[in-house]
Amino acid sequence: MEKPNSWIAHVEAFVDSARATNQQVALSSLFAASVDAIAVLVHKDLLTLEGLVIEMEQYLTTSDHVIRARGILLLAEVLSHLLEKPLDSRTVSSLVEFFTSKLEDWQALHGALIGCLALLKRTKKFGMVESNDAKSLAESFLRNVQVQSLAVRDRKLCFEVIQRLLDVYPQAVVELGDDLVYGICEAIDEEKDPRCLMLTFSLVGTLGRLFPDPSGPLGNFSSDVFDILSRYFPIYFTHPKGDGLDITRDDLSKALMDAFSSSPLFEPFVIPLLLEKLSSSLPSAKLDSLKYLNSCMPHYGADKVVKHSQVIWSNLKDVIFNLSPHRSSLSTYGSDGDMDSELMHVILIFVSILSYAVKGLQVLATFPEIYSPVSEATYEDILVMLMSIITRRNKETYLWELSLKALVQIGLWIENAHDSAKAISYNKLVIQRIVSMLQPNDSTISLSLKLVAISEISSIDLYLLTIVQAFEEAIVSNLRACFEGNLKSSGVLVPLLQCYSNQVLPRCHTCGNFNDIAVQVAVSIWNQIEYVAVFRSAILMKDVLDQVMMTMKHLVAGCTEENQFLILQKACSSLPKTFLIAESLPCALSQLEGFQCIQDTTLMSCRDEWVFSLFGSVVIALRPQTPLVNVKILLNLFVVLLLKGNMPAAQALASMVNKWPADVNKSEVSYSLDQAIEEILKSCLWTSESSSNFIDRDSCFQKYVVLGLAWIGKGLLMRGHEKLKEIAMLLLKCLVAGKNVDITLFQQHENGSKDVGQDASSHLATFAADAFHVLLSDSEDCLNKKFHATIRPLYKQRFFSSMLPILLSSIKESDPSSKTVVLYRAFGHVISDTPLAAVVGEAKKIVPTLADALAMLSLDILNKDMIYSLLLVVSGILMDDNGKAIVLENVHTIISLLIKLISYPHLMIVRETAIQCLVAISALPYARIYPYRPQVFRAVSTALDDRKRVVRQEAVRCRQAWSGWIP
């Protein structure tokens, strides 16, 4: 701790005139230490500020100007370190009075400015300067300080003091009136330093906000202020990059633009200047003029800009249409090596100029009618001009996007302003032209651009219904063409439906007409299917069917229960009558022999496949409260369809059991969920008498049954129903039945080889292993919040906790000589699809088996995606403090495995992630992982030659991480 009088030595060291003048640079750190030491003493109340001032009196008042300047500077620097030191108002006022008086002492001005700024930065919580003291300080500053005669560092301090006065004490300094504005003009005149210019432009902007009155001080000096600012436009900035300035030309230009637009009082001077520069042959001046116009016009207001409207309009047209002089200037470039880069730079400037011209058109088009600077005919010309950019094939996508945004903003303004006259023109020239682009014979621009344009325009609620109707017509016409065998229409229908579902439909919720729109479109789709008895196309068009199904789900999901029931009734009426005649359907296992080894396309016609898949989509998206008719028949129908390979039917079954009412008495369902599950499992899918026979059944049949079980189990799992255990046990039985599966058989099955000579149980076990992925993964197709699924919190974690011991036990008990690939596959699905936090909590149990699973599964290319998922689990464990300890216990196995995966040939991201895991391992205790450095370096050296750049980058990073220990 400092001795009571030791601070005096710090004062003497700081103000020593010889050292201050001769060795200032060398001793700057010593001076800083002296300031810090004194400030700490004051802050800890070991030294009072009054005591410091009293002891320093001889230094503060001496006739030796060098010592006096150093003394004042020391006091100022100490105050700068005490911004959060509470001071009473008397002390603050005394200090302000002292430093204000020192503004007259030009030889000590640097310290006085620092002291004033330090006091002005104080906040109310710790004791701030009073308004009357701030006013006195400002008066003294304006009277005594000649800013432009000072060095750069002092000019910068001056501008900071003025800015602080304007920001914190506006009421006090406003009273100075003309003296304040004149003094600021005098201070900023002829400023050239970029750092100071940033502050001067900000000062002018603040003046514009403080003095808005045309008859006020700024109004009296507005021409003088503009005369000072105009000398800097356009900004010409030549400072080299290595000069240490963190200021760019764009920064200066933006600050000057803000100053120009800060007050309408500058309008008589700024607009003519900008229009003059707009006709410049210099592209940068033209670009800046457009930027500044775009910024200034909204701030000046319509009443100010109206008198310049004709000139603005004329100049904007010139910018857009008269580019040939600038283009011809490209020929002046030489043919040296810089030709290409210079040419590209000029082209980019032209694109930017056009973009700001488009913004200018937008501003003109959104003036209120009574202030509009353009006539109705000119307004329509603007819309036509913007639409010509939209409908023209143009490689300049940036200009196209800006034109579209301008049209959208104009439409939104019309909607908010309720301008009926402009709305009529907008509808005629923009909306009708936009929606006409959806017609089949329109070939103006690409389909993707059409959809972008119409989806953006749909954000205008005023025209949303028109756009929705156009979409409906386009969807229906293209759907009919697909049914008639026009495959070209399928390429149009898929993106059309994607845009409608993802962009347009969500906006219908805001306009309040969603239910009417959704019912109408859904019924129209069903009508088209009813009208076509036989599809002329023999191709299923699965991509089209998938997208129509997703659209149907979105339509149904957004409706109320009453409207959902209407769509459901329409869907039921469209089903083939033969499926609804009987009270029950053939469902015994023995009656399903005809379904064996028959592909789904041969079981049903294309039309039937569409009908049943769309019907399943309707059921998937229903709310739990929406009543279902003939529930038993629907269950049996979906079971039969499931066994024919119709996955939407399996998902519909899963949705039904997930949303099944808990209280049967309060619903229209005649029996409980337990009874429904028993009906599905016992009567349709599985009986104890046939289960052993089932293992020997055809692989197609096995696949459909197991996937059906998985989806139904998922529905039960998400709602937390006890019947899930029964399905889980059935899947485990299938899994264990084929645990001794040869990997080559698994590969042959996935490659489509025949069943002859193969173990049927191998396929069953593989299907059962993949069923765990269905159970735990998130699905976009069904059983999610969008489609009103019942979701119990932490359902994945609970399933993980119950299944992990069983899977680990099965793996442990399996024959070591056998290849338990399916058990590892199931294990991989369970831990990779479970939230990482739950997995990390069981890391001690998981890590050894996880390493074995990676080693086993990496032998087969078909497991490459799972390898990546498991590596993410390893990475998550390495990021956890407890997980690191578990990794250390198995560090040899894990490092050896990761080294092998560095050269994994089948998936680049596996190699990248394996290297990232090694980087994480490098942070583990040195003694445990040091022995593996040579192996890691050899493997990483190989990765440095990887064909993928991202892998090479990670290899360099890994090598650096493992080399960090080298002394």
pLDDT in tens, 26-48: 456 556 777 777 888 888 878 88
Domain assignment of residue 73, yes or no: yes
What is the rounded average pLDDT of the residues 244-261?
A: 85
pLDDT at 743: 37
* C-alpha closest to that of 661 among 708, 633, 622: 622
The half-sphere exposure of 856 on its side-chain side, counting CA atoms within 13 A, is: 24
In this predicted model, which residue has the larger pLDDT, 695 or 801?
A: 801
pLDDT at 412: 85
Domain assignment of residue 25, yes or no: yes
What is the rounded average pLDDT of the residues 609-623?
A: 93
pLDDT at 591: 35
Q: How confident is the model at residue 536 (pLDDT cuts 50, 70, 90)?
A: low
pLDDT at 740: 46
Residue 741, helix vs strand vs coil: strand
Domain assignment of residue 960, yes or no: yes
pLDDT at 318: 67
DSSP bridge partners of 820: 741
Quick one: how far is CA 130 from the chain centroid? 46
Q: How confident is the model at residue 344 (pLDDT cuts 50, 70, 90)?
A: very low
Domain assignment of residue 72, yes or no: yes
Q: Which domain holds residue 16?
A: 1-82
Q: Is the pLDDT of residue 382 over 60?
A: yes
Highest mean pLDDT, choosing among 50-59, 291-300, 362-371, 903-912: 903-912
Domain assignment of residue 221, yes or no: no
> What does the alpha-carbon distance between residue 959 and residue 957 come to, in Å, rounded to a whole number?
5
What is the rounded average pLDDT of the residues 354-359?
A: 54
Instruction: Read off the amino acid at residue 894.
Output: I
Last-in-domain residue among 40, 66, 82: 82
Q: Is the pLDDT of residue 735 over 90?
A: no
**Angle in degrees, 0-180, between the axes of helices 283-300 and 339-365, rounded to the nearest 10:** 20
pLDDT at 8: 73
Token pair for residue 688?
Answer: 């104890």
> What does the alpha-carbon distance between residue 91 and residue 727 come to, in Å, rounded to a whole number?
81
Asked if residue 967 has a cis previous peptide bond (ω within 30° of 0), the answer is no
What is the rounded average pLDDT of the residues 705-712?
A: 90
Highest mean pLDDT, choosing among 87-101, 279-293, 393-407: 87-101
pLDDT at 792: 92
Q: Which of 40-44, 338-342, 890-894 has the lowest mean pLDDT?
A: 338-342
Token pair for residue 471?
Answer: 């979409």
pLDDT at 838: 92
DSSP bridge partners of 741: 820
pLDDT at 47: 81
pLDDT at 513: 80
**pLDDT for 439-493, tens place per residue?**
888 888 888 899 999 999 988 888 899 999 999 999 999 998 888 877 788 889 9
Q: Is the pLDDT of residue 754 over 60?
A: no
In this predicted model, which residue has the larger pLDDT, 753 or 632?
A: 632
> What does the alpha-carbon distance between residue 228 and residue 134 come to, in Å, rounded to a whole number?
27
Last-in-domain residue among 519, 544, 574: 574
Highest mean pLDDT, choosing among 69-83, 238-252, 299-313, 456-470: 456-470
Domain assignment of residue 405, yes or no: no
Contacts of 424 (CB under 8 A, 6+ apart): none
> What does the alpha-carbon distance between residue 125 and residue 151 come to, in Å, rounded to a whole number?
34
Q: Which of 133-137, 335-339, 700-704 has the lowest mean pLDDT?
A: 335-339
Q: To the nearest whole percent, how much of the chain has pLDDT over 70?
A: 79
Q: Which of 375-379, 802-806, 925-929 has the lowest mean pLDDT?
A: 375-379
pLDDT at 243: 57
What is the rounded average pLDDT of the residues 225-231?
A: 89
> What does the alpha-carbon distance between residue 929 and residue 924 come to, in Å, rounded to a whole number?
7
**pLDDT for 649-687, tens place per residue?**
999 999 999 998 877 665 556 677 888 888 787 755 554
**Residue found under tokens 């990779």:** 832
What is the rounded average pLDDT of the residues 875-882?
A: 90
Domain assignment of residue 323, yes or no: no
Q: Is the pLDDT of residue 772 over 90?
A: yes
What is the rounded average pLDDT of the residues 81-109?
A: 88
Mean pLDDT value across the chain: 80
Q: How confident is the model at residue 918 (pLDDT cuts 50, 70, 90)?
A: very high
Q: How confident is the model at residue 617 (pLDDT cuts 50, 70, 90)?
A: very high
Q: Check which CATH number belongs to the domain holding 918 and give it.
A: 1.25.10.10
Last-in-domain residue among 523, 556, 574: 574
Domain assignment of residue 813, yes or no: no
> What does the alpha-carbon distance between residue 379 and residue 425 come to, in Å, rounded to a whole number?
9
* C-alpha closest to that of 724 among 687, 677, 764: 677
The count of domains in the chain is 3
Output the pTM of the full model. Answer: 0.64
What is the rounded average pLDDT of the residues 249-266?
A: 89
